[in-house]
Structures are given as structure tokens and as C-alpha cells.
């Protein structure tokens, strides 16, 4: 029986590709040159890791499975934003390169798509990842790692988007899990994230 703390090969592949997409989008957004590429790839990996670590710690506690998945639609949308930023010179960024799917060892016979208890557990799994991502932003902000703080706050903002609709070219984002269970928590989280963005950029 696999542990959520031990990612699969597919998880690692999704992590690497998603980190590269985030790096490309941030490079285009900041109009950076070749010398900054290795550092931006590094901090992109850290930002994705912050989210992933929180989700997997909660999954271990809940005796649940978690799979990190690369989102073709979301990555395409993100790279389109990067292309527009490069061509127009405007500060455009979209960060939707990944999604996560959850399942529970103890709840597999309950009908997860409609069961309220499972919805609550999905909420905690998604919220756990965003909490550690916020913690990563806070440490970067306190210790004045400006680029890391900027990217972490932007990634947090986009992951909080409650997108889970057929006509929006992204897969289900963490914000959709949170809003499904608690609109109040989503509002507070988005408010805190906007404050983090203001503190980081202004």
C-alpha cells in the first residue's frame, strides 16, 4: 500500500513539467533574460513543492491517496498568457499548470462525488496545500527573497480560483474544493492572498 509521502513516477513527471511551465510564465511576466533562467526554475520548483508538501502531509494524516496531475488545458492557457506577455510587453501571467486528484482508502465505497464527508476531506486536502504555500510565501517575504515571494503569492492567487467549469480551459483548482465546502473560508483565504500580493508587489 503506497504512502502519499512517496510520490509515484507520474507525480514526479507532473511536478517537473508543471514547474517548468510556471518558470516560463514567470520569466515572460518579469521580462527576464537567460541568466535568470536557472534561478527561476529553482524557485518555481520550490513553489510547486510548497503546495504539494502540504497536501501530502494532510493526505498521510487522513489515510488518503493523492495524485499530482499535469493539466494540458491549464498549461496551454498559462503558456498562451506567457506568449501574450512576450509579444505585447504587458505584465500578463496565468498559472494553471497542474491539478490534484484525491481518493480515500476508508471512503472508497461511499460515493465520493456526492458524499458530504468526502467533500470535507477534499477541502482539507486542498486547504493543506494552500496553507503550506502561504507559509512559503511568508518565509520568502520575511527573509526578502523577492522573486520567490512574488511567485508564491501569484501561484497562491491562481490556485484559489474556484474554476471547475467545462468552458474554462483549466482543470479543477484548489479553490473549487474550498468553495464547495466553505464559501466563508474561501473569501477569507482570497482576502489574505490579496493582502499578500499587495505587500509583496507594493
What pLDDT, in 10s, does the model give residues 9-53? 999 999 999 999 999 999 999 999 999 999 999 999 999 999 999
Give the separation between CA 199 and CA 202, rounded to whole angstroms: 6
pLDDT category, 168, cuts 50, 70, 90?
Answer: confident
The answer to whether the CB of 77 falls within 8 A of the CB of 170 is yes
Give the separation between CA 76 and CA 14, rounded to whole angstroms: 14
User: Is the residue at 62 inside a domain?
Assistant: yes
User: Is the residue at 2 inside a domain?
Assistant: no
80 alpha-carbon distance from chain centroid:
18
User: Is the residue at 154 inside a domain?
Assistant: yes
Domain of 38? 9-201
Residue 145 has pLDDT above 70, yes or no: yes
Dihedral sign (CA 62, 103, 152, 185): negative
Report the number of distinct structural domains present in the chain. 1
User: Is the residue at 70 inside a domain?
Assistant: yes
Q: State pTM to two decimals.
A: 0.92
User: Is the residue at 137 inside a domain?
Assistant: yes
User: Is the residue at 4 inside a domain?
Assistant: no
User: Is the residue at 188 inside a domain?
Assistant: yes
Mean pLDDT of the chain: 91
User: Is the residue at 124 inside a domain?
Assistant: yes
Burial class (CB in 10 A: 0-12, 13-18, 19+), 186: buried
pLDDT category, 107, cuts 50, 70, 90?
Answer: low
Amino acid at each position: 500500500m503506497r504512502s502519499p509521502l512517496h510520490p509515484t513516477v507520474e507525480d514526479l513527471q507532473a511536478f517537473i513539467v508543471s514547474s517548468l511551465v510556471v518558470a516560463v510564465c514567470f520569466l515572460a511576466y518579469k521580462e527576464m533574460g537567460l541568466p535568470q533562467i536557472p534561478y527561476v526554475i529553482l524557485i518555481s520548483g520550490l513553489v510547486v513543492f510548497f503546495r504539494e508538501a502540504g497536501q501530502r502531509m494532510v493526505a498521510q494524516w487522513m489515510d488518503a491517496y493523492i495524485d499530482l496531475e499535469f493539466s494540458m488545458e491549464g498549461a496551454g492557457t498559462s503558456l498562451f498568457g506567457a506568449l501574450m506577455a512576450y509579444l505585447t510587453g504587458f505584465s500578463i501571467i496565468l498559472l494553471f499548470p497542474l491539478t490534484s486528484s484525491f481518493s480515500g482508502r476508508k471512503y472508497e465505497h461511499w460515493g465520493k462525488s456526492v458524499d458530504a464527508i468526502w467533500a470535507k476531506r477534499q477541502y482539507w486536502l486542498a486547504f493543506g496545500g494552500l496553507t503550506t504555500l502561504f507559509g512559503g510565501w511568508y518565509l520568502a517575504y520575511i527573509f526578502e527573497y523577492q522573486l520567490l515571494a512574488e511567485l508564491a503569492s501569484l501561484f497562491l492567487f491562481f490556485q484559489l480560483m474556484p474554476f471547475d467549469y467545462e468552458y474554462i480551459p483549466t482543470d479543477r483548482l484548489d479553490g473549487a474544493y474550498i468553495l464547495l465546502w466553505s464559501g466563508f473560508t474561501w473569501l477569507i483565504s482570497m482576502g489574505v492572498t490579496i493582502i499578500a500580493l499587495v505587500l509583496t508587489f507594493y
